[in-house]
Structure 1
């Protein structure tokens, strides 16, 4: 069976696929999204893992979805509701704690309690980062030019980019530092206290990347939180009512209102190429769907090495895709609990809010480094770094009455374990997560009713994330902008005419931002004119 008449068919139904499809549908194009699973959303999904629970099995909080995407696609109109969360809380081993206040002066004072010297320079650090943020906020919307090309069109695109960012001036060196230095070394320009450095560099390894604060190039992670403006009409960050699938559902509803078609249980077996040009897809069922453009929301390795095949690729391009680093070291443990953790370091009267919905565990540089070291040598962190979230405190729809949902995102674990398989490894990981949690919230084991343990191979198997990497690949200086996913093909196009990428495998990379989908749609719509 064969179908035709589509302007575009999109392989995969992740949030970037839906963003791309929604923009194209609003431009009057007939677009079909094909999702392998029974539900859309990719890693931005809510699943009923246990009866009555809506579990965000992968991504967990809305922190980066761009206001432009929210406003352009009218996502609030189509059901998106973001619930603001109280400040993040970090208990310390000695019984003290740190609260991450959004107010800069309160945060300065909080740091000063730990280190007066570091508190005195915190606002200087913020000013420095905020001076770089506007360039990054602009850069994410750019289509990376081909810097190695000598074609007049590509040279002109490179020249225009240089003109647009001419005002960066002396800040170029500051950007160079962010892209090349470790988070630890970069923070050392301002801060001296170990706990303060650990607080600020936590997401160098705890944000989905494959590294630690002392890993070169991880300073870039310090800038990523500044990529979103939380002061627009789109609203700030927080937990999505109904779980992260609420984002995907709202995007899908926005697209459907303009004719976007979405099919689930529709696994694509191969991308059809004729004369070096993509003409459609063939499903696992044998059904063929033809379209003017094929857009891959799958990761780059799956797209090119599986759906097309290495032998059909240009040699240099195939080598670049094969060497794209996609091995992950993060995990997720989701728990249904009868009672919330009772953190011994938290006092609501002292804190000024009722309960810490987001708790970060990993309060020293050595702690963060050792957690990563364990994974580097094929193991599971003895003391994992963890972000422990309790979305049911804010959102009663994600757990049955009287019950709660805990979502624990952490690191680090090896994709390939050296001394055990993952059947055994999951139990070891669970025990170490619970041991770590009970250090700060005693008695939690006995409150666990259900549990889901997801290691990198599980992310790969369930969500088709290569190597289990939530960003489709490391976001480091050699795998961003001009080079994501391969030199010469960072502009959402591929070596094959009418085949495009719209996923975390392309600029600006992973995170639930919607930007790869937006940028790809812009390029494709221009080509289809």
Structure 2
């Protein structure tokens, strides 16, 4: 039999698949990345939805991409450019507003409009959170150990404990983060419902399917601190050219080491010979052989569609089937003839020209009620809204004088009771425009085009199981040792030679590059052993 055509074939050219491939190619492996869509990027992509309008159709801001990956792969040489956006702006129904600045003192002054006590408590809250950030920044790079009585697993657990012994004093704080609701944790510092809603907003709308009173949502409050923005890799913000610029830069970086990428290459199945993954078969019937297969596709797609179920232990398959992965956030993209005007925003008073980042979710009760309809197969008529207008700082995204707004909103049931018809999509788009119209009167008059992606559409287009942007809830029962299944959290699978490198693996979703980095590290370790 002839030698395999590649050292590694990767299923899915999302950013993690590209990161994994780039690291493997850099190490000297011959790598092929396969993408079923006609363009690379997965959910980290820029698409021309209407002629001249380039939209980040899924992920929309560079906030968590890890400096280590950016620097290791020298992405700045390949078009990776971050544009600092204006401060985040949150209007309220009574005409007041809150602006979050990089400068803590200025943010405290904003909070003081609602509560002097909360303004005084904010620095203390930040110190408490920042003290835990080093643990989170450390643990994302770990390969989760398996819990068993095998000597190797025991040794891995002991090494993990030793490496992280410095965080023992923070154990109870970390436990609180992993178990409490965002509302309960924030209640330790803040009294104003508006302040708690503003600070806890992401916990209710960060891509999961929960309200701010749901246990376990406190952890999400720390996610923005997982990335150190004070590094040579630069800070956070809008990507010039949209989020697809990240994926394109990674592909170009890997390309100089020989990494190949093929689009319109839909994988039908993983090939297995003598009990080991040895390549893939495309839907066209073409077979591609490789020494190992790496799946950036979701765990559900990989193990429930692409792998012969007879090769998988029953308890493993059951764990994959049971993974909670019904998302409830959705996207609405708008092509604008001009920038809408938010009535609570005064450029001269704010000190910046336009609020390119706007959040709508005035109280904890509002955020909680926006999630309630999902429980009954419906969608919120008053959704939370995150409206990003990257064209306000990047004129490459729209025709001259025009703009694009990318809205993430929630909540809506993945399995809508009546089903997601075109009429239901239009109704969902209407509630977003109605909500925006309460704060930006006349916005409908400047909308030239509208594009709605429901949770079901996010699954169909981007292979996000249940429309969940993280491939599944990031919660205690589905994190670290248990992601995607107990005993297989180390990027390996029950099929030798088959690995996971995407958001279904530790540390989960978000545009971080970490699952791809960590999987490449484990693959290279195994290659040396072989």
Give the TM interval when normalised to the shorter protein. Answer: over 0.9
Q: Give CA-to-partner distance per residue, 1:431-488, whole Å, 9 cap, x none.
A: 1101100000011112111111000111111111111111111011111100000000
Alignment of 1:443-458 (within 5 A): 443-458=442-457
Q: Give CA-to-partner distance per residue, 1:5-64, whole Å, 9 cap, x none.
A: 311000111000000000111111100000000000000000111111111100000000
> Do the aligned partners of 1:371 and 1:381 also contact (CA within 8 Å) in 2?
yes
> Do the aligned partners of 1:3 and 1:289 also contact (CA within 8 Å) in 2?
no
- Partner-residue secondary structure (3-state), 1:197: helix
Further displaced range: 309-318 or 125-134: 309-318
Provide the residue aligned with 1:313 in structure 2.
312
Q: CA deviation at 1:419?
A: 3.9
Structure 1: unaligned runs, 5 residues or longer: none
Provide the residue aligned with 2:342 in structure 1.
343
Q: CA deviation at 1:167?
A: 1.2
Q: Give CA-to-partner distance per residue, 1:72-116, whole Å, 9 cap, x none.
A: 000001111110011000001100000011111221221122101
Provide the residue aligned with 2:284 in structure 1.
285
**4+ runs deviating over 6 angstroms:** none
Provide the residue aligned with 1:519 in structure 2.
518
Give, in whole Å, the separation in 2 of the partners of 1:234 and 1:509: 22
Q: Give CA-to-partner distance per residue, 1:142-197, whole Å, 9 cap, x none.
A: 000002x1111111110000011111122100000000110000111111110011
**Are 1:394 and 2:393 an aligned pair?**
yes
Give, in whole Å, the separation in 2 of the partners of 1:167 and 1:525: 29
Provide the residue aligned with 1:36 in structure 2.
36
Give, in whole Å, the separation in 2 of the partners of 1:42 and 1:409: 17
> Do the aligned partners of 1:54 and 1:399 also contact (CA within 8 Å) in 2?
yes
Provide the residue aligned with 1:143 in structure 2.
143
> Do the aligned partners of 2:35 and 2:266 also contact (CA within 8 Å) in 1?
yes
Give, in whole Å, the separation in 1 of the partners of 2:188 and 2:271: 53
Q: CA deviation at 1:309?
A: 3.9
Give, in whole Å, the separation in 2 of the partners of 1:311 and 1:454: 35
**Are 1:262 and 2:254 an aligned pair?**
no
RMSD: 1.0
- Partner-residue secondary structure (3-state), 1:451: strand
Give, in whole Å, the separation in 1 of the partners of 2:60 and 2:110: 26
Alignment of 1:16-55 (within 5 A): 16-55=16-55
Provide the residue aligned with 1:106 in structure 2.
106
Provide the residue aligned with 1:65 in structure 2.
65
Alignment of 1:324-343 (within 5 A): 324-343=323-342
Give, in whole Å, the separation in 2 of the partners of 1:496 and 1:310: 11
> Do the aligned partners of 2:330 and 2:408 also contact (CA within 8 Å) in 1?
yes
Q: Give CA-to-partner distance per residue, 1:384-427, whole Å, 9 cap, x none.
A: 00000111011011101111001000110001112454322111
Alignment of 1:114-513 (within 5 A): 114-147=114-147, 149-419=148-418, 421-513=420-512
Distance change (3 Å), C-alpha of 1:3 and 1:458: farther
Q: Give CA-to-partner distance per residue, 1:487-520, whole Å, 9 cap, x none.
A: 0000000001110000000000000000000000
- Partner-residue secondary structure (3-state), 1:141: coil
Provide the residue aligned with 1:7 in structure 2.
7
Give, in whole Å, the separation in 2 of the partners of 1:504 and 1:48: 25
- Partner-residue secondary structure (3-state), 1:407: strand
Further displaced range: 365-374 or 419-428: 419-428
Pairs aligned (count): 527
